[in-house]
Amino acid sequence: MTLFRYSLWLCIAFSLSVSQLQGLADEPVTDESPGSAGVAFFEAKVRPILVERCYDCHSAESGSAEGELLVDSRMAIRQGGERGPAVVPHHPEASLLLSAVMHSHDDLKMPPKEAPLSAEVIADLRKWIEMGAPDPRVSDAPPSGDVWPGGDVAREHWAYQPPQTATPPDVGQSDWGRDELDRFILAKLEDSGLKPSPDAAPNVLLRRVTFAIVGLPPSPEELSEF
C-alpha cells in the first residue's frame, strides 16, 4: 500500500463522514427542535391560552408557582411541579395539564375559579401534545429540582459549570509538554505519583493512524517513507 493509496483512504473516510453529517441535517425535525409548523400552531393556539388562563398562578413573571408548577417556559412545563410533568410530549393521556383542564383528574380542576376551557381549546391542547408539544420558549432561570437526573449532585458536576479562566499549575518536569494544557495533565500525573509515557516513535504513530483510519497496518514502503 503506497502513500497515494493511504491518502486515498483518508479522502474516502472524510467524504463518508461529510455525507453522514449531511444525512443527519436532512432528517425531519423533532419536538426537541420544533419546526416552523409546530411553532406556528403553538403561537396561534396554545400560548394565548397559557398566558390568559394559566400565567397568573403559574409563571415567573407573576411571582406565583402554585403547586411548584410553572408553565411559562418549555423546560418548566415539561418538568412540572409537585404532581409531576404537566406536559409529556406525544402522550396526552399522561399529561396533567390536559387532564386538569378536562376536569377528568380527581383533584386537579383547572382553571380552579373560572369557567372551564371550551372543547375547542381542549382539542387544540391535545393536538399540540400529540404533535410533541413543540415549544420555542426558553427561560433565563437555571434548571432546578428533578430536571437534573441525580439532583444537586448532578447539577454540581464539572460538565455543567460555566467555563472559567484557570492558571496552569506548577509542575516538576517543566520541560515536558508542548503547551499550557499539558501542564494540567502532568500535574495530575505527578499528584498520583506517575510519570508520563515517552513519546511514541514515528513508526508507532503511523501504525496507530492506519489502524484507526483503514483498519490495516502500514506497509513497509509506507513506514520507510514516513
Residue 65: which residues within 8 A CB-CB, separation 6 or more? 57, 58, 59, 81
Residue 133 and residue 78 in contact, taking contact as beta carbons nearer than 8 Å: yes
Residues pairing with 81 in the sheet: 84
pLDDT of residue 153: 53
pLDDT of residue 92: 93
Distance CA 206, CA 200 (A): 10
Q: Which helix (H) or strand (E) holds 59?
A: strand 58-59
pLDDT of residue 28: 43
Q: What is the pLDDT along the chain (226 residues), one digit of tens a residue?
A: 454 455 555 556 665 554 454 444 444 444 455 578 999 999 999 999 999 999 999 998 888 888 889 999 999 999 988 888 999 999 999 999 999 999 888 778 888 877 889 999 999 999 999 999 999 998 655 444 444 444 455 556 777 778 888 899 999 988 888 889 999 999 999 999 999 988 889 999 999 999 999 999 999 998 888 8
pLDDT of residue 63: 87
Residues shown for the chain: 226
pTM score, whole prediction: 0.48
pLDDT of residue 33: 53
Quote the cell numbers at residue 167. 492558571
The 10s digit of each residue's pLDDT in 114-141 is 788 999 999 999 999 999 999 999 865 5
